[in-house]
Amino acid sequence: ASEGKVKLVPNTKIQMSYSMKWKKSDVKFEDRFDKYLDPSFFQHRIHWFSIFNSFMMVIFLVGLVSMILMRTLRKKKK
C-alpha cells in the first residue's frame, strides 16, 4: 500500500520500494516443477457448449452478412 502521495512532475525520479514475506514450503527445490511436467496437468476437458456457441455465432454472422449482401444486390438491379 502506498504510504504517501507524490506529485508527478516530468523528469523527476520517484522512490519505489516493496516488501515480501517468505513462507517455508515442504516441497524440495528439485521437485518444484513436477506438477507442470505431469501429463495429466495438460489434459483438459472439451468445452462443448463453448464450441457450439461459437458455431452458432458464425452461422448467425454469415446469415446476417449474406442477407445484407442480397438486399444490396437486389436494389442495384432495379
Q: DSSP of 63-77, one letter per residue? A: HHHHHHHHHHHHHHH
Residue 70: the pLDDT is 93
CA distance linking residue 13 with residue 41, whole number of Å = 45
> Tell me, what's the pLDDT at 26?
92
pLDDT (0 to 100) of residue 56: 97
Cα–Cα dist 54/48, whole Å: 10
Q: Work out the burial of residue 30: count CB atoms within 10 Å of its CB; fewer than 13 is exposed, 13-18 middle, 19 or more buried.
A: exposed
What does each of the 78 residues of the chain score in pLDDT, given as a tens digit? 466 777 888 998 888 888 899 999 999 999 888 888 877 766 777 788 999 999 999 999 999 999 999 999 988 665
